[in-house]
Amino acid sequence: MKMTLSKPVDKNNGLRNVYVKPILLKNNKMYQFTYRYERRDETKNHNVGQTLEVLKDMIPEAFQNVTLFTMTEDVTLLVSKKGKPTVLCKKTQENRDLDLSHDHEKQRLIDPKNPWWHLLGLTTADGKVMSDMQHKFKQICKYVEIVDGVMRQTKFDDTIHIADMGAGKGYLTFALYEYLTANYDKKILMEGVEIRPELVEKINTIIEKCKEAWPSVSTMRFVQNSIEDYKPEQLDVIIALHACDTATDDAILKGIRNNAKLIICAPCCHKQIRREMEKSGKTDSITKYGIFLERQAVMVTDAIRALVLEYCGYKTQVMEFIEIDNTPKNVLLVGRKSDKAVDKQAVAAQIRALLEQYGIGEHYLWKHLFKTMDFKKD
């Protein structure tokens, strides 16, 4: 049914795994090899004879672990550093179906053949993801999967108003809009908020070009504005992925003040709190080391953000995700609006304790929360 090759001998050439599966190509049975590198995939098709020769060249010279999945059992070959082979066989307990479809027929979260992906520069004119954009395309699909998983746990009305803060080149905005309109029985109103006018003009031009082939794209637009000054008429979901430093705080504030049902942030560049901690001169046996001070600043910043969301009536989750194998881990901060009563005094006390403990004169989000009359400090 399929075969996986893992544990590469040479860890410097970037090749992490090879996946092999039988396919039907023009009514001929072939074997498709997918070579998975750190930032790209390469695919080659071989007949039976070629497949045997390629495998002989790779096992065990290139890979020390191989697993063959059949209809009835899994067979694993393990080769030790000294070259000693071990074979393990395990009967399968499930009913398996043989899939001979070509990878091009695989269902994807987003369709690279849609015209906007070519206009955005990710695909060729015939809808193939360009080799240098493979990593970016996988990253976009992963983000869509993550956001979808979070949104599925939230109840919405018939129309969902979404703002993508700091939308940049529009990759995620288009991907999420495409996926949601295809998979949600809701009207999706999407706005990408971006401060750079040239990007806003470019994306809105792409939207206009795509309206004829996909009329529903008219419910998406880009607006030229800062996150802080953006004034939506209505807001259900706010997304800010990798909004730098206090831009994440501005996005959270925008969600809170507009009573958004869902706030999704992947924060980065936690500079503001690190500067506060350095200015205070308060260090301990951990934070006296620069790299640990940086990591502590990250945790303190996001912990206070999560507590501020709780203070404002949101059920908060802080989770770790990995966008693609062997890439750095990211923190996802999620706030869902809740009807449950909040002990604001207790939450405020936790925030003040953290500020005092780490010598923080002000936390941008906590300070700016009280610039409106909607909130009063406990």
**For the chain, domain boundaries:** 2-105, 115-371
Residues 254 and 266: their CA atoms lie apart, in Å, by: 15
Q: Over the chain, what is the mean pLDDT?
A: 87
Confidence of residue 196 (pLDDT cuts 50, 70, 90): very high
- Per-residue pLDDT for 120 more than 90? yes
Confidence of residue 234 (pLDDT cuts 50, 70, 90): very high
Q: Copy the structure tokens of residue 74.
A: 């899994």
- Per-residue pLDDT for 138 more than 70? yes
Name the one residue in this structure whose structure tokens are 């065990």. Answer: 60
Name the one residue in this structure whose structure tokens are 């008219």. Answer: 218
Residue-wise pLDDT tens digits, 301-313 = 899 999 999 999 9
Q: Left, alpha or beta for 163 (phi > 0: left; psi -120 to 50: alpha)?
A: beta
Residue-wise pLDDT tens digits, 237-278 = 999 988 787 889 999 999 999 999 999 998 887 788 888 888
Average pLDDT over residues 17-45: 86
Name the one residue in this structure whose structure tokens are 């009329």. Answer: 215
Which CATH number is 115-371's, of 1.20.1250.20, 3.90.1150.10, 3.40.50.150, 3.30.360.10? Answer: 3.40.50.150
Q: Which 3 state secondary structure label does DSSP give 61? A: coil
Q: What are the CA-CA distances from residue 7 to residues 3, 133, 204, 298 (Å)?
A: 14, 26, 46, 33
Residue-wise pLDDT tens digits, 178-193 = 999 988 989 999 999 9
Partners of 25 in the β-ladder: 28
Residue among 247, 242, 241 nearest 272 (CA): 247
Average pLDDT over residues 345-367: 90
Query: What pLDDT is recorded for position 268?
Result: 80
